[in-house]
Amino acid sequence: AEPARDYIALPPRNLETFMAHIVILGAGTGGMPAAYEMRATLPREHRVTMINALPDFQFVPSNPWVAVGWRERAQVSFPIRPHLEKKGIEFIAQRVQRIDAPANALELADGTRVAYDYLVITTGPKLAFDEVPGAGPDANTLSICTYDHAEHAWGRYQEFLKNPGPAVIGAMPGASCFGPAYEFAFIFNKDLQRRKLRHKVPLTFVTSEPYIGHLGLGGVGDSKSMLESELRGIDAKWITNAKVTRVEPGRMFVTELDDAGQVKKEHELPFAYSMMLPAFKGVDAVAQVEGLCNPRGFVLIDEYQRSKKYKNIFSAGVCVAIPPVEATPVPTGAPKTGYMIETMVSAIVHNIAAELKGEAADTKATWNAICLADMGDTGAAFVALPQIPPRNVNWFKKGKWVHLAKIAFEKYFIRKMKTGSSEPIYEKVVMKALGIERLEAPR
CA distance 215 to 370: 12
Vertex 347: Cα angle to 31 and 410 (nearest 5): 45
Compute the CA torsion angle 336, 342, 344, 350 (nearest 10 deg).
180
User: Would you give the end-to-end CA distance of the chain in angstroms?
Assistant: 13
177 counts as catalytic: yes
CA distance 242 to 271: 16
Which candidate in 145, 293, 319, 371 is catalytic?
371
Which candidate in 145, 177, 293, 319 is catalytic?
177
CB atoms within 10 A of CB 229: 13
CA distance 10 to 205: 50
Task: Determine contact, residues 179/215, Cβ cutoff 8 Å.
Answer: yes
Compute the CA torsion angle 211, 213, 215, 219 (nearest 10 deg).
-90
Sign of CA dihedral 15, 119, 298, 211: positive
Q: Which residues are known catalytic residues?
A: 177, 371
